[in-house]
Structures are given as C-alpha cells and as structure tokens.
C-alpha cells in the first residue's frame, strides 16, 4: 500500500516516513513544497496524483498558533482551503483521506475530556482555521477520517519538548503555565495509529465508519506537568535540567488565547480501530531519550522499544542535544 502524506519535514510526516521504514507492506511518500503548496490549491491535485497513492494523509498545515493571529488570511488559505483541496484531490483519485486536526477547536470550558459530540468553539485564528478545514475536508470527500490530536512532540521539527530542553540548557528555572490541561501526544504514536488505520481502510473496501475521531496520548497533565516530566527524564539521562516554576496563564501573555482544558477522550477511536496510545509519560521518555542522545539508563522496556523504534533515526554523535535542538 502506498500512502502520500502532505508536508515533507513536519513532525507527523517525518514520523510516518520513519514508521514505514522496514515495513515491506507500507510505502510512505512525502509531498511538499514547492510541488504541493497549500496556499496555491491549484498545485495540489497534480502533486498528489504523481505519487499514485492508495490513501492520502493530510498532515501539512499552518501551525504557528500566535503568528496566525497576525496572518489570518494565510492560516485560512492553508488550513481551510488547502485542506479542502487535498480532500478533493483524494476524492478525484478515488481514495480516502486521513486529515489531522487539533484540540484547539475547543474553547476549554468543558468540565472533563472532550468527545466527538462536543461543539467546537475555537478561541483563536489557528483553531478557527483548522475547524474550517474539517468542514472543507468533510464536504470534499465523504471517505474522510478527521483525527483530532493534541500537544504533539517528536524528535522532528519544532515542539514543546525541544523548547524545554533548549531553555534548560541556558536557565536554572523555567516558568510554565499550570492552568492549561491537555494530553501530550508523540508523533511516533500518531504514525503507528495512522499506519494501523490505513491498513484497516485498505483491507476493507466496505468500510463505513468515516468521520471525526479524537486520537491523543493516554492520561492528562498541564504544560508545567509536561515540562517537569521532560526535564526529570533529561536529568536522569545526563541531559540538561532546570526547575519548573508553576505560573498562571495571565503571567505568560501570548497573542493567541489557548484552551484551559483541551483533554481529548479517545474512546471512540479505541472502539472503532482497536488501538489506544501508550501513556503520555512513557512516550515522552522515548522522545526525550532520543533527543538527549542516551537511552542506556531507561528502564528495560522503554529502552527496548526506544531502540526498536528509533534505530532508523539519524543519530548525532558527540553533541546530540545541540544538533537535535538547533532547528
Ligand atoms: N503540532 C501540534 O502540537 C499539533 C498538530 N496538529 C495538526 O497535526 C498536523 C501535523 O502537525 P505537525 O506535524 O506538528 O506540523 P509541523 O508544524 O511540524 O509541520 C507542518 C508541515 O506543514 C507544511 N506546510 C506549511 N505550510 C504549507 C504550505 N503552504 N504548503 C505545503 N506545506 C505546508 C510544512 O512544510 P515545511 O516543512 O516546508 O515548512 C511542514 O512540513 C497539522 O495538521 C496540525 O494542525 C494537531 C494537534 C497538535
Ligand atoms: C515556551 C513556554 C510556553 N509556555 C506556555 C505557553 C502555552 O500556553 C503553552 C504551550 O506553548 P507552545 O507555544 O509551545 O505550544 P502551542 O503552540 O500552543 O502548541 C499547540 O500547537 C498547535 C499546533 C496545536 O494544535 C496544539 O495541540 C498545541 O500543541 O505553554 C510557558 O508557560 N512557558 C514557556 O517557557
Ligand atoms: Mg508554538
């Protein structure tokens, strides 16, 4: 089976390429700029057709949450119109589309985890543009799975784990908000889930359970709880460490408002596909160990799975943290 994924170096695209390595049944082709530019929807069909996919994963997006407040036209062009063009291209090629969306479609006022029946009400431009993308994808291709995920991190691209390790390199203490709750999700786990779902779709031509699903790490924490865990693992592995000072959202002003609670309930996905993500702490250990460049001191189970899953990743010799964090 051949999967085309949009975006070349995004966290989820890179993790999918990694996950498919060494699997003879799955080939992943990444399609990105300049051939496929979501801000120029007329480029989309031709670029995707060329890769002759059995399934299209729509992962590329405008993901700069604060910057989107200043560039709403570009965020909507990419995340709404661009996503719609990807789903339309899949429909024209006669294949299903797996589209990634976000917890930031919710306003965070719910008392508990969000499920797929909860009404979205985005607080910022990024979330609003992604919600418009969900609508555009569903309208363009009835054979769609919209996977809403959250707080994504990985050895690739930009993410909160890398930011914390970088800051810990120059500071003794990092102030991090303690009043926003959510579910950290490893892009390596998302890639596993996508390959699993792609196999289900490919194997079942009569598959009917299309629609929206929540897919995130198991458990919950705050950004400061996440930061503390990242830095404790790093310290244990001989990487950078800093203390975490819990602050309130009002003490960390940002251009875009973020939901105070964007925990996602993943029960619908678990029932439909028989797949549940590992606990967020265990997945974080694997990624931090890779970034710190030392999986020797992890517990045996984590170490084995870290080694299995990351053996194909480029390792960076004597200064792994610097190299990995420089992007
Ligand atoms: N990161 C997160 O915390 C979360 C992400 N998501 C969603 O998951 C998906 C994947 O996220 P993630 O892997 O983290 O994203 P990244 O920010 O790591 O990567 C985004 C990708 O989109 C590409 N891209 C941006 N603009 C365009 C454009 N105009 N045309 C073509 N490609 C473009 C980038 O290309 P280039 O490499 O050239 O810059 C990059 O490859 C997105 O849909 C995102 O909204 C959902 C929840 C959380
Ligand atoms: C760097 C930093 C951030 N923060 C806060 C700000 C914010 O409330 C929270 C997370 O900050 P970030 O800007 O790293 O994360 P953010 O860009 O909000 O991450 C989001 O990205 C998009 C793409 C998504 O779809 C979401 O699921 C989510 O992962 O942590 C601190 O309190 N201290 C710090 O030193
Ligand atoms: Mg950010």
Rounded alpha-carbon distances, angstroms, from residue 156 to 9, 11, 79, 174, 327: 8, 5, 21, 22, 9
Q: Cα separation of 257 and 72, whole Å?
A: 15
State the chain's maximal CA–CA distance in angstroms.
56
Cβ–ligand 1 distance for 13 under 6 Å, the answer yes
CATH architecture of the domain 2-225+248-325 equals 3-Layer(aba) Sandwich (3.40)
Query: Which tens digit of pLDDT belongs to each residue from 130-151?
Result: 999 999 999 999 999 999 999 9
Closest CA to 240 of 290, 316, 292: 292
pLDDT at 37: 98
What are the residue ranges of helices labelled H in the chain? Answer: 11-20, 44-49, 72-76, 83-93, 125-140, 160-170, 187-203, 223-236, 267-273, 280-292, 300-310, 320-325
- Label residues 98-122 b or e (16+ Cβ within 10 Å = b): bbbbbbbbbbbebeebbeeebebeb
Ranges under pLDDT 50 in the chain: 295-327
Cβ–ligand 1 distance for 59 under 6 Å, the answer yes
pLDDT at 307: 45
**Ligand 1 pocket mutation, candidates 58, 61, 125, 132, criterion most atoms within 8 A of CB:** 61
Closest CA to 184 of 152, 155, 213: 152
DSSP string, 15-77: HHHHHHTT-TT-EEEEE-TTTS-TTSGGGHHHHHHTT--SEEEE------TTGGGT-HHHHHI
Ligand 2: which residues within 6 Å by Cβ? 63, 65, 102-104, 150-152, 160, 163, 174-177, 180, 223, 252, 254, 258
Cβ–ligand 1 distance for 20 under 6 Å, the answer no
pLDDT at 22: 79
Distance 206 CA to ligand 1 centre (A): 31
What ligand is nearest to the CA atom of residue 162? 2
Quick count: other Cβ atoms within 10 Å of Cβ 273?
Answer: 18
Query: Which tens digit of pLDDT belongs to each residue from 77-87?
Result: 999 999 999 99
Cβ–ligand 1 distance for 102 under 6 Å, the answer yes
Give the nearest ligand 2 atom to 176 CA: 32
Residues designated as active site: 126
pLDDT at 294: 52
Closest CA to 10 of 59, 53, 68: 59
Respond yes or no on whether ipTM tops 0.95: yes
- Residue pair 277/216 in contact (Cβ under 8 Å)? The answer is yes
Rounded alpha-carbon distances, angstroms, from residue 316 to 11, 54, 146: 18, 34, 35
Quickly tell me which residue has 């693992």 as its tokens: 233
Domain boundaries, the chain: 2-225+248-325
């Amino acid at each position: 089976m051949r999967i085309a994924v949009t975006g070349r170096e995004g966290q989820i695209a890179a993790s999918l390429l990694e996950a498919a390595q060494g699997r003879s049944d799955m080939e992943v082709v990444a399609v990105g700029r300049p051939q496929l530019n979501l801000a120029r929807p007329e480029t989309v069909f031709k670029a995707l057709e060329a890769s002759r996919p059995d399934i299209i994963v729509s992962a590329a997006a405008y993901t700069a949450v604060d910057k989107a407040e200043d560039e709403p036209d570009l965020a909507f062009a990419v995340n709404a119109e661009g996503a719609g063009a990807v789903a339309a291209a899949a429909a024209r090629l006669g294949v299903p589309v797996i589209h990634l969306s976000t917890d930031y479609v919710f306003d965070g006022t719910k008392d508990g985890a969000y499920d797929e029946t909860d009404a979205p009400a985005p607080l910022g431009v990024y979330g609003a543009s992604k919600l418009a993308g969900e609508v555009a994808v569903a309208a363009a291709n009835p054979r769609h799975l919209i996977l809403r995920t959250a707080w994504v991190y990985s050895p690739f691209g930009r993410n909160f784990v890398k930011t914390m390790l970088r800051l810990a390199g120059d500071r003794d203490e990092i102030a991090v908000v303690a009043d926003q709750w959510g579910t950290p999700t490893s892009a390596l786990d998302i890639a596993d889930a996508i390959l699993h779902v792609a196999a289900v779709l490919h194997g079942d031509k009569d598959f009917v359970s299309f629609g929206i699903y929540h897919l995130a790490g198991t458990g919950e924490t705050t950004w400061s709880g996440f930061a503390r865990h990242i830095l404790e693992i790093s310290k244990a592995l001989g990487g950078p460490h800093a203390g975490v000072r819990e602050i309130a959202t009002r003490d960390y002003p940002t251009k875009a408002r973020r939901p105070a609670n964007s925990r996602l309930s993943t029960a619908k996905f678990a029932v439909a596909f028989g797949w549940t993500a590992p606990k967020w702490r265990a997945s974080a250990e694997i990624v931090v160990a890779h970034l710190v460049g030392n999986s020797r001191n992890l517990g045996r189970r984590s170490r084995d799975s870290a080694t299995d899953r990351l053996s194909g990743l480029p390792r960076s010799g004597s200064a792994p943290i610097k190299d990995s964090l420089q992007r």
